Chains A and B, each alone.
Chain A
């Protein structure tokens, strides 16, 4: 290992016997998926190791692992331990997301008290008092609930995600969780449920743009009647909406999309041309430029 890396890449790390022993006993990376899961299980017991370097390294192993490997390695995670981590304010908040995912996997894979304690911990973590509007890892907690209980779980959290008082930040976390669900349907919920829940986000002005783009990527062309009106309803005030609508219509292969574009062109051809051009690069900095 030492002779495979260049000196410029070496970093000096203070090591005690624990860290040295950890480095010497950790298995090298493998490519076989089953072996990878076996290897990852070894790190499960070191995620919150008292030695910070060991804990960080073990966490990095999970961070780098494909989700399928993480799923297989979940058998090594202790349900009660996970549940306690989720509700322990001393745990690094950056880890909440992953522990939420893991708790969801445990709830889905196991029965009885192990499953219920993880479910309960997920809900408790979401309902916990918060010091600020942004809570790191909320997307992972929500994804964990999707893994555990599917789409219906979203309606049963303390966050009230679709209530008038819902936090826009939490709703953005939900968007992220839904994107995860789309990529991992076998572990979360059928894609039609992801699509249906994403459609609900069209009603939220601060997320409508992202929802439109996601629905295009999901090829949900049945959402067209709900999306086209947003050109006027939200597009007058939000310059990012019309490029999103235009991009959706351009991506949609159905004749109704061509007709919608033509109707919009008849009203304002320049606006449609500008929106289509802007849709080619949905740049994050676009907001700053306006």
Chain B
């Protein structure tokens, strides 16, 4: 649904994981090698923020050796992931935005784990429009550490965005 009703059961609040979509809504898929629960449509791998999470103590420094193999394996892969566009200054024509797991409505202000956000830069000629609804973004996943002026990490994941729906 349009509004997040808390950090509880996300399957019930309008941002279901791709693997949780109703069977009748899944796109017919070409035969593919089993990927342990991830669906794949025409070479695009459906993932969720759960798939790119990893153990990291809050407030601790990031290093690449924290990343599990399943995350490293996604580097350079075309994926589709659902999330929320973090509100920014533009309504339409977004060439870049931050995709987050949820709209953090449950949180007491800004703040999220590094693995809960992806910096999306749209491919040339492609743009996105902001919406409070969850969106599905397709694109090539990558590791791209973004640091602030103080040297702390602001983000570690990037997506070269192709479509936003």
Residue positions of A touching B, CB distance < 8 A: 1-2, 4-9, 28-29, 56-57, 59-64, 67, 70, 92-98, 101, 134, 136-137, 139-140, 143, 168-169, 172-173, 176-177, 179-180, 183-184, 206, 209-210, 213-214, 216-219, 240, 247-248, 250-251, 274, 277-290
Contacts and interface: CB of A to CB of B under 8 A. Distances in A.
Contact of B89 (A183, A184, A279, A290): A279
Interface string B32-46: 101111110000000
Q: Is the interface of B mostly helix, strand, loop or mixed?
A: loop
B154 interface: yes
Interface of B: 1-6, 8-9, 11-14, 16, 19, 21-26, 28-29, 31-32, 34-39, 58-59, 86-91, 96, 98, 100, 103-106, 108-114, 116-117, 119, 130-133, 146, 148-150, 152-155
In this complex, the member of B2, B5, B31 whose beta carbon has the largest number of chain A beta carbons within 10 angstroms is B5
Contact of A285 (B2, B5, B113, B150): B113
Contact of A93 (B6, B91, B112, B149): B6
Given A6-B34, A217-B91, A282-B98, 7 more contacts: A1-B23, A8-B35, A134-B6, A168-B108, A210-B87, A284-B100, A285-B153
Tell me whether chain A's interface is mostly helix, strand or loop, or mixed: helix
A25 B47 CA distance: 31
29 contacts: A7-B34, A8-B34, A8-B38, A9-B26, A29-B24, A63-B1, A63-B16, A101-B2, A101-B3, A134-B6, A136-B106, A137-B5, A139-B105, A140-B1, A169-B108, A176-B132, A177-B3, A209-B110, A214-B87, A216-B90, A250-B89, A284-B100, A286-B110, A287-B111, A288-B58, A289-B148, A289-B152, A290-B150, A290-B152
